[in-house]
């Protein structure tokens, strides 16, 4: 259903409007030269003839590494930390038992279907909790590798 028009919109336009004029200005210097070229980041990194990217030679560039790091790996699950999202996560090879699921839910873990992992925000308390849960889920420490 269309909206009702306000009474002010239906009234005749005011005849006392003042005329405005536009003044043409010369083009600014920033629009000329190299600024009009297509930025390199639009097309991606420059590449060699073989298709490999040409990376700048910067010795001070930082290599942060992958955001996810596995901390404990067993035959049944893996516990790690995703530094990008600041989360600890459990990834199970098969569906965990109802007891394990209940424990994870009780401690506030959330299942993320996209990652197929149970996650919780990483802070000192949850890091200690996940280490304890990994020991509990893994059983004896023989099968756990760091």
Is 40 in contact with 46 (CB distance < 8 Å)? yes
In which band, very low, low, confident or very high, does the pLDDT at 88 lie, cut at 50, 70 and 90? very high
**pLDDT confidence of residue 127:** 94
Mean pLDDT of 63-76: 88
Has residue 64 got a pLDDT over 90?
Answer: no
**pLDDT confidence of residue 87:** 95
In which band, very low, low, confident or very high, does the pLDDT at 76 lie, cut at 50, 70 and 90? very high
What distance in Å separates the CA atoms of residue 108 and residue 50, rounded to the nearest whole number?
50
Helix H or strand E segment including 7: helix 7-10
Is 134 in contact with 72 (CB distance < 8 Å)? yes
* Residue ranges of domains in the chain: 68-124+134-139
**pLDDT confidence of residue 38:** 63
Token pair 């893994």 in the structure block, residue? 138
In which band, very low, low, confident or very high, does the pLDDT at 144 lie, cut at 50, 70 and 90? very low
């Amino acid at each position: 259903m269309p909206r009702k028009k306000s009474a002010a919109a239906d009234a005749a336009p005011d005849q006392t409007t003042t005329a405005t004029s536009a003044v043409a200005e010369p083009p600014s210097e920033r629009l000329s030269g190299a600024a009009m070229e297509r930025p390199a980041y639009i097309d991606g990194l420059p590449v060699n003839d073989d298709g490999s990217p040409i990376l700048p030679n910067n010795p001070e560039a930082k290599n942060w590494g992958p955001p996810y790091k596995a901390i404990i790996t067993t035959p049944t699950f893996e516990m790690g930390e995703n530094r990008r999202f600041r989360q600890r996560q459990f990834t199970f090879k098969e569906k965990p038992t109802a007891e394990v699921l209940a424990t994870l839910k009780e401690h506030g873990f959330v299942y993320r279907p996209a990652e197929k992992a149970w996650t919780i925000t990483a802070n000192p308390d949850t890091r200690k909790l996940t280490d304890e849960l990994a020991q509990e889920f893994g059983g004896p420490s023989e099968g756990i590798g760091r």
